[in-house]
Amino acid sequence: MLLRIISIVFPIFLVVIIGVFYGRKHRPEMVAANRLNMEVFLPALIFTALAGKSFALTDNMPSIVGSLVIVIGSGLLSWPVARAMGFNPKTLVPPTMFNNVGNMGLPLMLLTFGDQALGAAVVLMLIATLLQFVLYPWMINGNSPLATVWREPFILAAALGVTVSLTGITVWPPIMTACKILGDISLGLMIFSLGVRLSTAKLNAWSIGVTGAILTPVTGMITAWIFCELVNIPRADQDILFVFGALPPAVSNFIFAERYNQEPDKVASIVMIGNVMAIVFVPLALALRL
């Protein structure tokens, strides 16, 4: 069991560490690479996963509902904790809700559960990302850009992929192959980019950083466990949702905090310490479910 857990998490953390050291030495400008990933490689991965013959929307309903419950439930659990500890809930709560399902979650679930989990993993990422685009601005300033989020390439790719899946349209195989080639670039680039981003993050607030780092996986796993106990879903879906709940805060939380000027230094600490502490919480989640 220990060897299996190590074999799952080691490749991910190794690529992150490589990204950290490369980032510290060369300070690469990742804006263009990350934009390519968000606008080309990731949409190709999403389309390939959702338009593939192995994907069925009804089979992934547990992932859709479960992700909604985990994201919102984590926020509801962490809000009173933030108030009780004297932290600004607008700073602490969003990182506990929106975890690193992109950079870390997708590769982790594929390594853990195999290619058959790609559809569920993509659905989890889509739900979490969409909720972050909609809920984060609303939580900070009461506004939500719901009308513009549908222009995001990953949403368009998801809509196209689901349409292909539901209608039974057969996409010309060479097109699917091209999308798969582009999509395969996305996973490695996401993990490496996470390392580069962490190499420049600063720890200016240890207390809120450690609190958020612990609160994110704990509230996620608690919410996932409660949902799976109350709802009768297959064991495979339960395992995927539990691992999803155990993920650390997403790097995008720092980007949103900068955009809305919501104590970005403190959010950076939460993100950095949270992803370091994933070395503990991710293997723990795997040990509990495998």
- Of the pLDDT bands very low, low, confident and very high (cuts 50, 70, 90), residue 215 is very high
pLDDT at 225 exceeding the cut of 90 = yes
Total tally of structural domains belonging to the chain:
1
Whole-number Å distance between alpha carbons of 50 and 65: 17
Residue 4 and residue 283 in contact, taking contact as beta carbons nearer than 8 Å: no
Q: Identity (one letter) of the amino acid at 1?
A: M
Contacts with 98 (C-beta within 8 Å, 6 or more apart), sequence order: 71, 128, 131, 132, 136, 249, 250, 252, 253
Residue 99 — φ and ψ, nearest 5°?
Answer: -100, 180
CATH of the domain at 132: 1.20.1530.20
Query: What is the extent of the structural domain holding 114?
Result: 2-289
Q: What confidence score (pLDDT) does residue 75 get? A: 95
DSSP string, 185-219: HHHHHHHHHHHHHHHH-----HHHHHHHHHHHHHH
When mean pLDDT is compared across 158-162, 213-217, 237-241, the lowest value belongs to: 158-162
- Residue 174 CA: distances (Å) to CA of 48, 51, 178, 181: 12, 14, 6, 11
- 98-123 pLDDT, tens digit each: 998 877 888 888 888 888 888 888 88
Nearest partner of 108 among 9, 198, 246, 189, judged by Cα = 9
- 20-39 pLDDT, tens digit each: 899 999 999 888 888 898 88
- 121-178 pLDDT, tens digit each: 888 888 888 888 888 888 888 776 666 777 788 889 988 988 888 888 888 999 999 9
How much is the pTM?
Answer: 0.82
